[in-house]
Amino acid sequence: MQTRKLGRSNLEVSALGFGCMGLSSGYGPAVEKEHGIKVIRAAVDLGVTFFDTAEVYGPFVNEELVGEALAPFRDRVVIATKFGFKIEGGKQAGLDSRPEHIREVVEASLKRLKTDHIDLLYQHRVDPAVPIEDVAGTVKELIGAGKVRHFGLSEAGVQVIRRAHAVQPVTALQSEYSLWWREPEAEILPTLEELGIGFVPFSPLGRGFLTGKLDETTTFDSTDIRSTVPRFTAENRKANQVLVELLGQIAGQKHATPARVALAWLLARKPWIVPIPGTTKLHRLEENVGAAAVELTAADLQEIETAVAQITVQGARYSEAAQKMVNR
């Protein structure tokens, strides 16, 4: 697989990364550990070198899974993890980016990941109770100590990005971005380009919706976050099907699948964008990785743009509680 550099940093990763969250949480019950290891190692075999996890996924078990799965390949993969949540009784309990907490989380993450350094450390969500300068300064110290290599932010707004970057250069911003969530195009992407920061879109397949495998009859487990997301009500799924149909038409022309076209569209946006689709299925992993070989011409991109401009996606992308933790 081709590689890309995240912004102006020297962090080089595969053009497509792998989001590991869904193996342990977020989309229903966790997979069996052996299966999770098999999927992650299959990604390595397919050329993926960029793996994304966080202490809050599980909590903790996803980092343990990633650490065990990647231990044999540690010298040729890039591991990204995150801090920023308070975890009590095995559950997420608000935000916490106090410097002392960041240091505690890093020490614990290093043990779970079976490594002596974290390649890319993100603040998972902006904590309004802690100045971003203090957060960036703490990560800068950890970089100086050799425990962290690069600093990242997640779901941060332009002002926070600028303030953090002034203290410790930000290598990457991770936020949701796809054909059905294009908000970052207004202010975020121009700022990242100006500052030389890479962009790592999560949910690049619209939490599975853009694959064409979900419709209004699909049911979700009670532990699946889509069961609480307004955009995934049966009514909104039915209304949003028009976007999937569009992708299907273009995929047919390219002899590809809707998922591959959706990912190829992201790759074509900027050379410093690295999507991180996740899956629990080996055949879906192969499908996603194949997107790197799909070339969309300028005419293809214009066709997509013209068609999508006529579609209004229905439903908010987050529940009210989750939206409150997005800094814009």
Q: Residue 310: its pLDDT value, please?
A: 93
Q: Residue 85: its pLDDT value, please?
A: 98
pLDDT along the chain (328 residues), means of 10: 95 98 96 98 98 98 98 98 97 96 98 98 98 98 98 98 98 97 98 98 98 95 95 96 94 95 98 98 98 95 94 94 93
Judging by DSSP bridges, how do beta strands 85-88 and 3-5 pair with one another?
A: unpaired
Residue identified by tokens 């993969």 is 77
Whole-number Å distance between alpha carbons of 267 and 256: 15
Going from the N-terminus, what domains does the chain have, and what CATH number goes with each? 3-323 (3.20.20.100)
Residue identified by tokens 């814009």 is 328
Q: Residue 280: its pLDDT value, please?
A: 98
Asked if 273 contacts 254 with a C-beta cutoff of 8 angstroms, the reply is no
Q: Which are the contacts of 242, defined by CB distance < 8 A and separation ≥ 6? A: 311
- Residue in 27, 57, 122, 177 annotated catalytic: 57
Q: Residue 250: its pLDDT value, please?
A: 92
Cα–Cα distance list, 257 to 226, 240, 270, 305 (Å):
23, 18, 21, 18
**Polymer length of the chain:** 328
57 in catalytic set: yes
Whole-number Å distance between alpha carbons of 154 and 21: 15
